[in-house]
Amino acid sequence: MDLAVATATELVGMLRGGSLSSVDVVNAYLERIERMNPALNAVVTLDVEGARRDAARADAAHAAGALAGPLHGLPMTLKDSFETAGMLSTSGSRELESHVPERDGPTVGLLRAAGAVIMGKTNLPEYAGDWQTFNDLWGTTNNPWDLSRTPGGSSGGAAAALAAGMCAAELGSDVAGSIRVPAHFCGVYGHKPSWGIVPGRGHEPGPPGKLAKVDIGVLGPLARSAGDLDLLLSVVAAPETRDRTAWRLELPPPRHERASAFRVAAWLDDDECPVDSSVGDVLQGAVDALARAGADVDDRARPGFSLHETRVVFERLLAPVGALMTPARFTRIQALVAARPPADEGSESSVDRFRRAEVQSHWEWMEADEARARMGAQLAAFFSDYDVLLFPVAPVAAFPHDRRPERERTIEVDGRARDYIDLEVWMALAGLGHLPATVAPAGLTRDGLPAGIQIIGPYLEDRTTIACARALAGLIGGFHPPPPIPI
């Protein structure tokens, strides 16, 4: 089997059936990492001895008829923001360059309990704070489709490693697209779960040991098939540790399995954040494929509020999350805001509006939270008429590396420069609504770059968005590996 294209589901089946050993699969991935990672810089920490030891234990347990769980013997890597016992866990920051946790975070523990073999960690921007992947500790990660371009962020190393076939599956995190953008840029699958269904502790940022839940932010899988997302979600979706005394989590089955049964709303472009035509054409092709298959597609349906309203409320909810990730950042932002006079809301740039929101008062945040609740009620009504809402992931495909200060960065949409922060806009709806969102490969742009489509569904109906992604793959194909990487 070609491990570069094999799905986790296929590998688990072969491991369980005895036609593959975990040791053989681990060794094959380690060889592939050794050969390909120098060009990509996706994997930043490897535990070779530990991976081989755990794989040998998995094989011995299999021979004794004692399977640990649904991922028994499956080799994985993890985004380097997860506290992982005995392994460097740096979040891409020199402040944590020697940080080796004594225990796994709860979600990593769930993966190990299900039998996963953790081989190492993948790169991210410092403290998961960018839509590109570079930092002063580990350097820059390249996109396997074009080494001159970013794989996205913040789970950029995760998506690049998957696309290049250096691991079977990945665990990422997402607050403003950190799973979804890399999946889109690298041509793999990613799932942002409904908020609250995957334990969030043991993730950096915030600082190591932080106990409070983070609003909007979620942990979720990246993989090479929609079925893999379902498999991994079944492992990591669970109550927080202290809630397990009384709470149980039972996600409903998908509303449909066949493409022809889905009621689809499509919102593929908007003046608030125009989508480059090379990306838009790919997304329209995916929607057209669903329509030809018999799905009921409505390209005018909207949930009762605009994309601009979504963006403004999302910024007010998101900004404090990022500002409080590190005390140094909060202090810096507070000083910047204090030095600026109040701005006229109509003339304030999106960047200034976001920075001001980072130090808003608590009552201002509560006002935004009430707006979210009202929008959530509108979304619930919307999803009584539609099963899924199809969205772009980002206005552009993967762009060239840009290490300038964020205020100086732009993205190019059909030849016109747009603010870099526009990358947040199509992320906002699923984030503020705490909704599940699955990214599925939709095809290649005119420049030969991957484009993914974002499938948003009702709160807690994660299996519906994943099922739609699976149905779409049956129509247009799923994951395709990138061209050979110069090594």
Tell me which of 21, 22, 79, 192 is the catalytic residue.
79
Strands 75-79 and 43-46: unpaired
CB atoms within 10 A of CB 439: 30
Orientation angle between helical segments 462-476 and 277-292, nearest 10 degrees: 90
121 is catalytic: no
Contact between 107 and 82 under an 8 Å Cβ cutoff? The reply is yes
93 is catalytic: no
- Residue 47, Ramachandran bin (φ over 0: left; ψ between -120 and 50: alpha; else beta): beta
Nearest to 428 by CA among 322, 291, 307, 346: 307
CA distances from 298 to 59, 266, 371, 386, 437 (A): 50, 6, 26, 9, 19
Tell me which of 81, 91, 154, 194 is the catalytic residue.
154
Cα–Cα distance measured from residue 228 to residue 24, given in angstroms and rounded to the nearest whole number? 21
Cα–Cα distance measured from residue 265 to residue 386, given in angstroms and rounded to the nearest whole number? 6
- In Å, the largest CA–CA distance within the chain is 70
Cα–Cα distance measured from residue 263 to residue 386, given in angstroms and rounded to the nearest whole number? 5
81 is catalytic: no
Residue keyed to tokens 């300038």: 404
Structure tokens at 237: 């979706």
Alpha helices in 293-389 (DSSP H): 307-323, 327-338, 350-357, 362-385
Instruction: Tell me how many degrees the CA angle 399-157-67 measures, rounded to the nearest 5.
Output: 145
Q: Which residues pair with 417 in a beta bridge?
A: 412
Burial of 75 (0-12, 13-18, 19+ CB in 10 A): buried
Orientation angle between helical segments 462-476 and 226-236, nearest 10 degrees: 160
Cα–Cα distance measured from residue 87 to residue 104, given in angstroms and rounded to the nearest whole number? 9
Tell me which of 89, 91, 155, 178 is the catalytic residue.
178
CA dihedral 478, 413, 321, 310 (to 10 degrees): -90
Which residues are identified as catalytic? 79, 154, 178
